[in-house]
DNA sequence: GACAACATACCAACCGGTCGGTATGTTCAT
DNA sequence: ATGAACATACCGACCGGTTGGTATGTTGTC
């Protein structure tokens, strides 16, 4: 009673509900009523916290950035000394995340931006920020890995970081199309192989790892 | 003799309208009324040709397969003698297609499957068929390229063919998120580089041929 | 008693889908 | 060759449910 209990408030419950419902049904097909029902709150609570559905969309994208940001920040792949191992560890971590049903491991902002990129600029921007912000966490390690090896590649660390996101997002689409994660896992294997090759046979004057395989 | 009407019928006009409207707004956000208005037909015509919205979704995916199938079948990259050149030519062709506004070059079935994979199994299946069918047109060339070089890779032609689709679909998502095609083009460059490296063309050394790095 | 955090009741617009109807063939026995 | 019987393509008013959104409480806390 004197202590305000740490109960989850309606806003958080709505955002949490948005994560699961929108990932399963898409943004447009998710109604406000449905969101309220899933969150166990009423419509009044919804419009108390959000001006409208689109504002919830933006908030959900931001919330997603927060959640996934924490997940990846605390992931063990950062412990590697070699920045390249951190990058490869990231890809392995992404692959390990492919568990459970398709809606459980796919990306909220990747789903949302497809539906809203032309019709809801605010949501598009929030999704862009989420994806590019996440890619940016890889960029430093990629950059460090090239510098450590005195490479002068004809690609930028930024473009490779974004490419990993493209592969991952595309893998999710294939998973949704086939109804399973297997193809997505295969694609991430190809991504891992690509990165390994980039840092072994530099395009240009770079050279690396004269002895055998890493495993 | 009595020729069947040479005018475009309502069904085709509706499918054509679906391609552009759905790619811009998504499937769920596209209403039947809107589709009819864009096609210049009435609602009666719509429900004469399609049992419901979902049946149009399936027909649109099939129509998309038909249209893109013809586009790629007639594309010039098939003329290369070396199957690897055909694969690389395909990637270059996909990159060259990144012109105009984002809704103009993105993929209908990739967009639709994200919204419907859980709620409309028939559409999901049609989209899966469209993507895997398109990937299959690459598989033979990839297979031939490996055989021609006596390679025994630890990846399959099928998985690489599907990986190209993952990269392309993911590139579209990034294009939608950023509002431009530049990042998508960069990602396709990475894909081209990956395939080149897999087959050790360009600056790479073809040291692996009988090197025994396969399983 | 002011204010935030919710709940309840309600609305107008819009949604997918239905339905009775028309215009234009096509078929085929007469 | 005609005309009844039937089929196809399309029209647009209409229906009931759902939508995002609003207006107005109620409740607990400072």
Q: What's the mean pLDDT when you consider all of chain A?
A: 90
Q: How far is CA A65 from the centre of its chain?
A: 8
* Eight-class DSSP state of B120: -
The residue among B118, B173, B183, B197 with the most chain A CBs within 10 A of its CB, best to mutate, is B173
- What is the mean pLDDT of the segment spanning A186-197? 98
In percent, the amount of chain A with pLDDT more than 70 equals 90
How far apart CA B158 and CA B89 sit, in angstroms, is: 18
**Which range is least confidently modeled, A56-65, A67-76, A199-208?**
A199-208
How confident is the model at residue B153, as a pLDDT?
A: 95
Q: Which of A7-21, B119-133, B152-166 is predicted with the least confidence, judged by mean pLDDT?
A: A7-21
pLDDT at B20 over 50: yes
Rounded to whole angstroms, how far apart are CA atoms B24 and B103? 5
Report whether pLDDT(A201) > 70: no
Q: How far apart are CA A143 and CA A6, in angstroms?
A: 42
| pLDDT score, position B107 | 98
B179 and B89 Cβ atoms separated by less than 8 Å: no
pLDDT at B9: 81
Give the pLDDT confidence score for residue A202 in this predicted structure.
39
Q: Are A88 and A196 in contact (CB under 8 A)?
A: yes
Is there a contact between B177 and A28 if contact means CB atoms under 8 Å apart? no
**Span CA (A44) to C1' (C11), Å:** 15
B11 or B190: which leads in pLDDT: B190
Residue B10, pLDDT score: 80
Query: Chain A 128-157, CB below 8 Å of chain B: which residues?
Result: 128, 131-132, 155
The C-alpha atoms of residue A33 and residue B144 are separated, in whole angstroms, by 54
Global model pTM greater than 0.75: yes
Cβ within 8 Å, pair B155-A189: yes
* pLDDT over 90 (residue B137): yes
> What would the pLDDT profile of B160-174 be if each residue is shown by its tens digit?
999 999 999 999 999
What whole-number distance in Å separates Cα of residue A96 and Cα of residue A102? 14
Provide the pLDDT for residue B201: 64
What is the per-residue pLDDT for A9? Answer: 85
At residue A8, the pLDDT reads: 77
pLDDT of residue A10: 83
Query: Chain B partners of A193 at a C-beta cutoff of 8 Å?
Result: 155, 194, 198
Confidence class of residue A190 from pLDDT cuts 50, 70 and 90? Answer: very high
- Indicate the SS3 state at residue A54: helix
CA dist A97 and A115 (Å) reads 24
The pLDDT score that the predictor gives to residue A200 is 86
The minimum CA-CA distance between B89 and chain A, rounded to whole Å, is: 19
What average pLDDT does the segment B89-100 reach?
Answer: 98
Alpha helices, DSSP H only, in A26-120? 32-39, 43-49, 53-73, 83-96, 102-105, 108-116
Paired tokens of B22: 């759905």
**DSSP SS3 for A43:** helix
A5: confidence class by pLDDT, cuts 50, 70, 90: very low
Cβ distance of A166 and B178 shorter than 8 Å:
no
Residue B156 dihedral angles phi and psi, to the nearest 5°: -100, 155
- For A186, the closest of B131, B162, B174 (CB atoms) is B162
Which nucleotide lies closest to B2 by the C1' atom and the CA atom?
C25
d(CA B12, CA B20): 13
């Amino acid at each position: 009673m004197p202590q305000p209990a740490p109960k989850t408030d309606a806003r958080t419950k709505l955002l949490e509900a948005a994560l699961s419902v929108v990932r399963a049904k898409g943004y447009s097909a998710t109604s406000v009523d449905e969101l309220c029902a899933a969150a166990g709150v009423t419509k009044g609570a919804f419009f108390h916290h959000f001006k409208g559905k689109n504002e919830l969309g933006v908030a959900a994208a931001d919330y997603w950035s927060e959640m996934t940001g924490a997940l990846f920040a605390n992931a063990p792949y950062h412990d590697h000394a070699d920045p390249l191992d951190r990058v490869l560890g990231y890809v392995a971590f992404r692959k390990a995340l492919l568990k459970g049903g398709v809606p459980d491991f796919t990306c909220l902002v990747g789903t949302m931006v497809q539906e809203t990129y032309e019709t809801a600029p605010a949501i598009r921007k929030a999704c862009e920020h989420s994806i590019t912000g996440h890619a940016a966490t890889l960029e430093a390690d990629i950059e460090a890995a090239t510098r450590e090896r005195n490479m002068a590649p004809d690609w930028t660390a930024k473009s490779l970081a974004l490419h990993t996101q493209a592969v991952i997002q595309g893998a999710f689409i294939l998973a949704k199309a086939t109804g399973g994660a297997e193809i997505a896992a295969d694609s991430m294997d190809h991504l891992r192989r690509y990165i390994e090759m980039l840092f072994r046979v530099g395009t240009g004057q770079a050279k690396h790892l004269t002895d055998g395989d890493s495993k």
